Chains A and B, each alone.
Chain A
Amino acid sequence: MADRFSAAWARLPDYLVPHVLLSATALAIGVAIAVPLAVVATRSRALRWPLLAVAGMFQTVPSLALLALFYPLLLALSALSTQLIGRGFPALGFLPSVLALTLYAILPVLRNTVAGLEAVSADTREAALGVGMSRRQSLLQVELPIAAPLVLAGVRTSAVWVIGAATLATPVGQVSLGNYIFTGLQTENWVSVLFGCIAASALALIVDQLLGAVEAGLRKRDRRFVIAGLVALAAGTAAAGWPAAASAMAGPRYLVGAKTFGEQIILGRLLQDELQAHGLRADVRTGLGSSVILQALRADEIDAYVDYSGTIWTNAMGRRDNPGRKAVMDGVTDWLGRRYGVKVVGPLGFQNAYALAMREDRARALGVRTIADLTRVAPRLVIGGDYEFFGRPEWTSLERAYHLRFRAERQFASTFMYRALESGSVDVVSAFSSDGQISVDRLRVLRDPKGALPPYDALILVAPARAGDARLISALRPLVNALPVETMRRANGAVDGGHASAAEAAARLARGIAASERPRAGGPEVVTAAHAS
């Protein structure tokens, strides 16, 4: 507990700084858009309703979805811009996060500014014209200053929303305090989750109080409050911006990507450790959705990550056949290289395949050894899967191959799925062959006699721009065929069980690989033996 807290504390600057920069940027742009829009809305009856309605509509879109939707949009725009002017822009990370959060920031400021401007009395507005002001002078010298306290109240609301919603930027690849929450959820590290929540709330409270001081200053027309509040906010933002600016000047860093689940976080750290061991600067960006991570690699937004042969075979290539483990791996390597210039450095040596697993006692009682045996008993059983599983082609292909009709299908966050299996609320789960839980809970993994599920070898992929980067490739090469499935399961089990952090598990793997480096060197690599299927 204390260890986890100090580990979380140590990461605070890494997560807090981008969170502050992201929120401040989104808020600043939001205010810069909302105030002029409010002026337009109060000047023109015809535009008023549509403007408020559209701003309100953005507010009703769930934050996570809004953030996620910007990714494909930006990707398309980036492709268009590459076509038109020969230059694209990153579609992942800061940009989509800022855009989505900006949309969130607009409404409260827009609404309050409209209310503030409309609260300026007709007498006052006529007086402004009467003393000889132009419309513009009246707006800037009379109407906006009078509305200012209400505008600030809107900015406060926006700030609290934006700081809270910025935690959701993690899944689109922007580091934020949400990294505590998402990583913690994956690894059942509740200290980390709580730490992230409290840090985000504390930040929101502090900013709210400072903006509150500015608002009080405007209300009381006391410049000291206004200046003190603004200076504190600016100092905080500048302090957050300084290290980022400094590191941007320090030269290129490699960026390793990782998906949302525990094994990927361990592997992301492992790649980072390996690069650092070779004297290269490297960061990890965890929490990338499995649908965006390959696109990010193709677009050179991340430099390397680990994906699985079957994932690319079925999802990216759209293949439904299963020609065998070696053929799939070769096919994927060839296709990625030809189609996108993505380089496959090699397999890590284990598979993280979709598999169906049951509790040993339950499987024995029902006499189930293979998936084919499930056909008979499935109508009495409940199957649990992660959020993706039932939407994936693997499931369709399993259903079709074995005529599976379960009594019910339930979806879980993958950490809760095994709990449900243990408690008996589901009978069968969609497991992954490298899950630590399989060895911890001694689960029975059901064989797939018809080969309906494709193989899922973990492959190290390198972005097109880095495909010729000899230093990077040679730094990653020691990982090839260095991780047997049992080793990976142990590492996953240690993290899932809370015995080690992802960083510790990765460090342990790296030490093991370094130790076996010498004896393995030279000999031809052999694909590690099949997992427990």
Chain B
Amino acid sequence: MTKSSLPEPRGAISLTNVGKCFGSGRPALIGVSLEVRMGELLAVVGGSGSGKTTMLRLMHRLIEPDSGEVRVLDADPSTPPHVFRRQVGYVFQGVGLFPHLTVAENIAITPKLLRWPRGRIEARVSRLLELMELPRSEYGGRLPATLSGGQRQRVGIARALAGRPRVMLMDEPFGALDPITRDDLGRAYRALHDRFGLATVMVTHDITEAILMADRIAVMREGRLVTVGPAAALAVSEEPYVQALFERPRGQLRQMASILEPAAKEPVHG
């Protein structure tokens, strides 16, 4: 297990020629190799069934690869998976807050599993709620069912961050939110990511979100990694699939410009 006293690992996450096949049908993942550095935010985009979530679950050791190697934080492969997972923050697509626990208890879960002393846990919970703009006095004792979707997602992120992980894995973290909340939360998360110097892998189906938030974007298609690179590099890619992927935000941008620029003089809609 990596300690802060040890020298910085080459990469936070490294996948080498990873393959995964579920029961029947075509493989979910074929020969994927990928590096994520500390401090980097990598967005993974691709259609449904492209293998994005499978890759994320492999990184969290919720499943094991059939071939190749997955290394996260240079963790000892003999560490039991549930112990390993306490070192990594994971934000679920369906949030998955525990319905029987309060907001504060949900956030305290991983620190408790790590057997932190009580005072340290309390301080950490308060701090994270503050960062998420959910004052503890108002929200700490509430049950998840009484929160809005955006608030729940914030608690989900706070819970993932609670054990001071250095790697965060996020599966469509903002997918179910309205565009404004999504934009705010995305910005807020990027700030936290930078502040804590994390390595984050964020799966999303929204290329615009990926362009706005990520340092690099990995494009997946039918279980293969098509390409990976900064948005600007991908934008000039020769790959037809990548070109098609970028066509949509480009089109939107042109449309917006054509609407907004004349609108400066004579507003169209109220």
Contacts and interface: CB of A to CB of B under 8 A. Distances in A.
Interface of A: 121, 123-124, 126-134, 137, 142, 145-146, 148, 221
Contacts of A133: 82, 109, 113
Contacts of A145: 100
Top 5 nearest A-B pairs (CB, nearest first) are A127-B96, A132-B86, A123-B94, A123-B96, A132-B85
A297 B85 CA distance: 64
B113 A130 contact: no
Interface string B93-124: 01111111000000001100110000000000
A127 B85 CA distance: 11
Contacts of A142: 98, 100
B268 interface: no
Nearest to B93: A123
A132 B90 CA distance: 10
Contacts of B20: none
A131 B109 contact: yes
B31 to A, nearest CB: 26
A124 B82 contact: no
A134 B83 CA distance: 8
A142 B82 CA distance: 15
Contacts of A148: 100
Contact of A130 (B60, B100, B143): B60
A128 B92 contact: no
A145 B110 CA distance: 18
B76 to A, nearest CB: 16
Nearest to B92: A127
Among A123, A124, A130, residue most surrounded by chain B Cβ atoms (within 10 Å): A130
A146 B99 contact: yes
A132 B109 CA distance: 9
A132 B114 CA distance: 9
A123 B176 CA distance: 15
B154 interface: no
Given A124-B98, A130-B90, A221 B85 contact: no
A130 B97 contact: no
A291 B181 CA distance: 78
Nearest to B84: A132
Contacts of A121: 94, 96
A405 B84 CA distance: 85
Given A126-B96, A132-B86, 8 more contacts: A123-B96, A124-B96, A129-B85, A130-B90, A131-B113, A132-B85, A132-B163, A145-B100
Contacts of B80: 134
Given A123-B92, A221-B143, A129 B99 contact: no
Interface of B: 60, 62, 80, 82-83, 85-86, 90, 92, 94-100, 109-110, 113-114, 143, 159-160, 163
A221 B103 CA distance: 13
Contacts of B99: 124, 146
B83 A130 contact: no
Contacts of B60: 130
B62 A132 contact: no
22 contacts: A121-B96, A123-B92, A123-B94, A124-B96, A126-B62, A127-B92, A127-B95, A127-B96, A130-B62, A130-B90, A130-B96, A131-B90, A131-B159, A132-B83, A132-B85, A132-B110, A132-B114, A137-B82, A137-B113, A142-B100, A146-B99, A148-B100
B257 to A, nearest CB: 40
Contacts of A221: 100, 143
A131 B100 contact: no
A126 B62 CA distance: 9
Contacts of A132: 82-83, 85-86, 110, 113-114, 163
Contacts of B62: 126, 129-130
A126 B95 CA distance: 10
A214 B167 CA distance: 42
Contacts of B96: 121, 123-124, 126-127, 130
B110 A131 contact: yes
Contact of A127 (B82, B98, B100, B143): B98
Contacts of A126: 62, 92, 96
A124 B83 CA distance: 18
A429 B110 CA distance: 79
B27 to A, nearest CB: 22
Nearest to A134: B82
Contact of B85 (A124, A130, A146): A130
Among B97, B113, B114, B143, residue most surrounded by chain A Cβ atoms (within 10 Å): B113
A145 B105 CA distance: 14
B73 to A, nearest CB: 14
Given A132-B110, A132-B113, A132-B163, A127 B97 contact: yes
Nearest to A128: B98
A249 B95 CA distance: 59
A302 B171 CA distance: 71
Contacts of A123: 92, 94-96
A148 B94 CA distance: 23
Given A129-B85, A134-B82, A146 B90 contact: no
